[in-house]
Amino acid sequence: MSQSRPQTPVKPSGMEIVYYYPCPGCGRKVPLVAPVQPSMARCDSCRSQFPVVPADQRSIRFIKTVLDEGKAGIDPDFI
């Protein structure tokens, strides 16, 4: 029998911001990774397609910078 060592937790190497858009067809919250340009979303429940308002690219960049791409948002007990 081989001895297995406990694995060391892995730190994040990046992060994304998820926006939830309500589907006009069924009301389901459709998750999209911060769309920064006008685009179309498709509901995975009712399959309807609808346009979404984009996220502000400067705000997304600011949040990612403040959180150091996710590194500043991890639990300090695991560092």
Q: Residue 51 CA to chain centroid, in angstroms?
A: 19
- pTM of this structure: 0.79
Rounded-to-10 torsion of CA 64, 69, 72, 74: 120
Q: Where exactly are the structural domains of the chain?
A: 23-73
Cβ-contact 28, 42 below 8 angstroms: no
**pLDDT tens, residue by residue, 8-50:** 888 888 999 999 999 999 999 999 999 999 999 999 999 999 9
Q: pLDDT confidence of 77, banded at 50, 70, 90?
A: confident
